[in-house]
Amino acid sequence: MPVLAINGGEKIRSKLFPAYSVIGKEEEEEVIKVIKSGVLSRFLGAWHEDFYGGPQVRALEEEWAGYFGVKHAIAVNSATSGLYCAVGAAGIGPGDEVVVSPYTMSASATAPLVYNAIPVFADIEEDYFCLNPESIERKITERTKAIIAVDLFGQPYDAAAKNALARKHNLLVIEDTAQAPGAKYKGKYAGTLGDMGVFSLNYHKHIHCGEGGIVATDYDELADKIRLIRNHAEAVVEKKGFDSLVNMVGFNYRMTEIEAAIARQQLKKLDGLLKKRLENVDFLTAELSKIPALEPVKTRSGAKHAFYVHPVKYRSLDTGVSRNRFVDAVKAELMPTELREAEGVNIGSGYVRPLYLQPLFQRQTAYGNNGCPFKCRNYEGSVDYSKADCPVCEDMHYNTLLTHELMRPPISKEDLNDVVNAFKKVWENINELE
């Protein structure tokens, strides 16, 4: 009978998993061309042809819009900046509320704060982990202006239900699709399901250029505002003849030519990289489903999932072994990933801690030391982040969900077998954990 590694037995795997790597010769060649051209950026923060950036940035925007079937794609230097642009373009300001998810990367919930608006957390769906439409509806007030819907883990948000809800209450939908490039819902690409969609090109994502982001929208006016916020709006509006000054304090969220050149090559690889990732997930889903305690995530009806991470639900059944203990035992059987050794084995108990538990929300301190915007005079509502009322999110995070990244290219079949065998070994010897 094998002894579990957590109890001093031999590990299933003794070598590191291969580093996540999607950059190749094509990117290298294009970067060298850009450097040789001498134009590393071409943005001008004034009303001028170069207000829209250099040739690589513009080509990337055109190609991105073409691929995803959206009228405007606007390159920015991160998805975080993209979310800030989107909230600004939506005209959101002090006193407004925006419904957000507690289970996401922090920027998708803090974006409203940049405009002194209040993030209000709704609960997530038990099966798909995106915002739950019923919970959203309970959080809507006369102050609500938008919903930030995250395509979490690569699963497209429930656009049919949420867009209808948004129309009913006259809200904009900002889609955070950082984790779901290439995912689809009813034939439409994630990132084009809401009024604005925000993609990420940071180095953890399906395709990347180091750091970068794209905001997609079909609306000319929103696109105009996003481009202004990206590039020093206040210095440009007058000469551009842009009358509405709402949120027209600009930033520098501009993407460089080098990043754009890399991103253009990456976009060409998205289909192939996604296909490989989905094949890996299919294999893991089939194998892990054989373990009674595990339930790999379902894909929403009508949707194509992109699997930024692979979420799996753990049920202790009658073993009495908690999710955390189970995950620790599986991790003990495996090894970290190259270039990210310090993070340990890439399997997590849950995902990120529910965001309302961050000190920023618990202490209601964002700008200055008077509790702005939460206690700002413009804000006529009240939020209590100590009673966030998100039981599903808390159960997923603390008891039920595990997420892992051991399906990202260029992981091999042999590597995947080690992952499966680690889970199987722990399950077959679970009595050792009691």
Ligand X SMILES: *Cc1c(COP(=O)(O)O)cnc(C)c1O
Residues that bind ligand X (CB under 6 A): 78-80, 104-105, 107-108, 150, 176, 178-179, 200, 202, 213
Query: What minimum distance in Å lies between the beta carbon of 260 and ligand X?
Result: 15
Which pair of structure tokens corresponds to residue 273? 């990289």
User: In terms of CB distance, is 107 or 118 closer to ligand X?
Assistant: 107
User: In terms of CB distance, is 108 or 192 closer to ligand X?
Assistant: 108
For residue 131, what are the β-bridge partners? Answer: 124
Sign, Cα dihedral of 284, 288, 289, 293: negative
Query: What minimum distance in Å lies between the beta carbon of 253 and ligand X?
Result: 10
Which pair of structure tokens corresponds to residue 39? 């134009």
For the chain, how far is it from start to end, CA to CA, in angstroms? 16
User: In terms of CB distance, is 213 or 373 closer to ligand X?
Assistant: 213
Beta strands (DSSP E) in 256-301 are 294-296
Q: How many CB atoms lie within 10 A of CB 267?
A: 20
Which pair of structure tokens corresponds to residue 407? 């399906």
Q: What is the DSSP string of 63-94?
A: HHHHHHT-SEEEEES-HHHHHHHHHHHTT--T
Give CA–CA dist 345/294, Å, rounded: 19
Query: What minimum distance in Å lies between the beta carbon of 9 and ligand X?
Result: 36
User: In terms of CB distance, is 132 or 200 closer to ligand X?
Assistant: 200
User: In terms of CB distance, is 92 or 416 closer to ligand X?
Assistant: 92
User: In terms of CB distance, is 78 or 217 closer to ligand X?
Assistant: 78
User: In terms of CB distance, is 21 or 370 closer to ligand X?
Assistant: 21
Burial per residue of 106-115, b for 16 or more beta-carbon CB atoms within 10 angstroms, e otherwise: ebbbbbbbbb
User: In terms of CB distance, is 253 or 379 closer to ligand X?
Assistant: 253
Query: Residue 298: which of 154, 189, 164 has the closest Cα?
Result: 154
Give CA–CA dist 72/224, Å, rounded: 10
Query: What minimum distance in Å lies between the beta carbon of 290 and ligand X?
Result: 30
Distances (CA, A) of 151 to 23, 52, 83: 24, 29, 14
Query: What minimum distance in Å lies between the beta carbon of 101 and ligand X?
Result: 9
What is the DSSP-derived secondary structure letter of residue 322?
Answer: -
With vertex at residue 370, the alpha carbon angle to CA 368 and CA 376, rounded to the nearest 5 degrees, is 100
Query: What minimum distance in Å lies between the beta carbon of 104 and ligand X?
Result: 5
Give CA–CA dist 59/37, Å, rounded: 16
Residue 289: which residues within 8 A CB-CB, separation 6 or more?
Answer: 295, 296
Query: What minimum distance in Å lies between the beta carbon of 298 and ligand X?
Result: 20
User: In terms of CB distance, is 79 or 248 closer to ligand X?
Assistant: 79
User: In terms of CB distance, is 163 or 200 closer to ligand X?
Assistant: 200
Which pair of structure tokens corresponds to residue 361? 């929300």
What is the DSSP-derived secondary structure letter of residue 244?
Answer: -
Query: What minimum distance in Å lies between the beta carbon of 286 and ligand X?
Result: 26
- Residue 406 amino acid letter: L
What is the DSSP-derived secondary structure letter of residue 367?
Answer: B
| Contact assessment for residue 312 and residue 245, using Cβ atoms and an 8 Å cutoff | no
Backbone angles phi, psi at 319, to 5 degrees: -80, -25
Query: What minimum distance in Å lies between the beta carbon of 125 and ligand X?
Result: 16
User: In terms of CB distance, is 115 or 379 closer to ligand X?
Assistant: 115
Query: What minimum distance in Å lies between the beta carbon of 366 and ligand X?
Result: 18
Query: What minimum distance in Å lies between the beta carbon of 2 and ligand X?
Result: 37
